[in-house]
A and B are shown apart, each in its own frame.
Chain A
Amino acid sequence: MSLEVSPFGGSLPIVEPELENTSPLWIEEKEVSSAIVATVTPPQPASPEQGSRNFWKVFGTTFITIFLAELGDKTQVATLLMSAEFHAPWIVFTGAAAALITTSLLGVLVGRWLSTFLAPKTLDTAAGITLALISAWLLWDVIKG
């Protein structure tokens, strides 16, 4: 294995064919370390890292999707009403934040669990249908309200 590629897990797809005697365990460890690097460091323009770019792309897509779905939703209205009623916005925010982090962690874990026994193609179709239904749901809210 060459030294200049080992610290960067992001370049893995390019170097993989050269490393035929590499154990799967080693590859997995590299992927994990690259994910950690992507989590703690901002995007580095000096070395265009595939893994880091992918992380921020997924992060951005998820952020915008969930943020738009959440605006004006019942959770946000609940926090709005509670903070208006009790005049303790930071306590309400702390409780809501803890609940939302827990539910999004649950959501991602359920998604990963589904991916263990569903083919990627099936999962793509299911995700597409789910997002289309959410779209219809939002439009129905607009028409009704």
Chain B
Amino acid sequence: MTLPHRYIPMTEQDKAEMLATIGAATTDDLFRDIPDAIRYRGVLPMSPALDEISLLTHMKELTSRNTDTANCTSFLGAGIYDHHIPVIINHLISRSEFYTAYTPYQPEISQGELQAIFEFQSYICELTGMAVANASMYDGMTALSEAGALAAGATKRRKLVVSRTVHPEARETLRTMAHGLGLDIVEVGYSASGVTDLAALRAAVSSDTAAVLVQSPNFFGCLEDLAAIEPIIHGVKGLFVVSANPISLGLLEAPGKLGADIVVGDAQPLGIPQSFGGPTCGFFAVAEPLMRRMPGRIVGQTKDLDGKRGFVLTLQAREQHIRREKATSNICSNQALLALCASIYLSTLGKQGLIDVANLNLSKAHYANSQLAGQEGITLPFTAPFFNEFVIRLPEEGPSVSEINEQLLKCGMLGGYDLGLAYPELAGHMLVAVTEKRTREEIDHFASRLGELQ
């Protein structure tokens, strides 16, 4: 490429004038400090440049080979959900003052972002029933890992007990983190009803346990009995970490009210596109005594010189740019733009809307559950209460879950998650998610097709 390019304003005349000002003969002079031995000569063998029309055509061609939820009906969840995204969200997050800004280091010209984050923190505290929330994390699963790290640091203990009903990829991420920090991970199995086996949990927890980590609704969609788990870990003075689905909190008791010390989760259901699994937005909330151990950014309210309310990044003494190797976490970026999505979503739904959407999810999922259970060959292995996701068992002698999903795709449906992938003992089991977007007709169609495919 030679100048000009539509993103670069420098003209040949500018270049000549600037080089003359510096006293350099050529641009190459500005790279004279790079040893010759490591100067790249020639053109890198990368994808070539495309003009705007060709690039748009190319990108549309790539998307044409993806099946999206505009042209299929999704019953796939397992951590990423097909919820309705109120149309105003995209309009507001597309305001470039939000999306082209940096982290709000200069508060006087970043009050918009700072206030938006402060409101996000407020929303998360309301939903989770916790005292303090941060400005967001990479996603819910890495937030769970950070919760484990926080618990280990706060208790000076090295053992983390995690339920096997926690998302498999969250447990994998937790294991990677634990290896770095030298922590031990103990996994506890599930009962016949589809929730954490409390007897096994009691046996696994001891005075060297930093935390118990559970997810509710859990990976099977089942609701964990948080009130029953809480005394097990608090009895040994460890911390109780709960990962929660934020939509479910319109209906379910806030984990903070049930004794959780740290509540994390993924805000993807709150107006964030599925986007192949990322970016989403993790949330992280703690009880007050853990406030100064929180990872990530935190916004606080304060006053300016005139006494006017304003917002700033605060408690920065925890953070990497101040404390370096002694920081509570290495986290620097959060997911501010997606935290904004979640805030706009919660502003839009409001007090009644969150209850309504939670009830729609509950009703549609329970209807689907009953319709599927009525199909020949399909059974329901777990009995625990559930929210908007549940497990079905398909006949052993029939086609595999992945074969069934390929068939469903041909009828314009994305079937559920193949549980055999992460739980070998659950081969032939499918995890079905039903959101407010699914109509009765779609559910009936799904149930009957699934019945026929056995």
Mutual binders A and B: no
Chain B residues within 8 Å of A, Cβ to Cβ:
none
Chain A residues within 8 Å of B, Cβ to Cβ:
none
